[in-house]
Amino acid sequence: MSTITLRDSQQRVIGYIETNSSGVQVGRNAQQSRVGTYDPHTDKTHDAMSRLVSHGNTLAVLIHNG
């Protein structure tokens, strides 16, 4: 599993994107709460309640707006 740390313009951590071995990504906010998932096989992003948010990867938007 690999993890990318997302930071704002003042270098504060705003969230993380974890990628598992199958390529599915999990977005987490700065407090490590899951905000959504992105599945590259279906090219869809779902929020923490498993509702479809968009086609394509918009995890960074979920993290930033969350």
Q: Report the alpha-carbon distance of residue 59 to residue 17 in Å, rounded.
A: 8
What's the confidence (pLDDT) of residue 66? 67
| Mean pLDDT along residues 28-52 | 97
Q: What is the pLDDT of residues 41-66, one digit of tens each?
A: 999 999 999 999 999 999 999 998 86
> Looking at residue 2, what DSSP letter applies?
E
pTM: 0.91
Question: Looking at the predicted structure, is the pLDDT value of residue 24 above 80?
Answer: yes
Question: Looking at the predicted structure, is the pLDDT value of residue 37 above 90?
Answer: yes
From first CA to last CA, the distance across the chain in angstroms is 23
Task: Provide the 10 A C-beta neighbour count for residue 46.
Answer: 17
Q: Do 16 and 27 touch, CB atoms closer than 8 A?
A: yes
Q: Do 22 and 3 touch, CB atoms closer than 8 A?
A: no
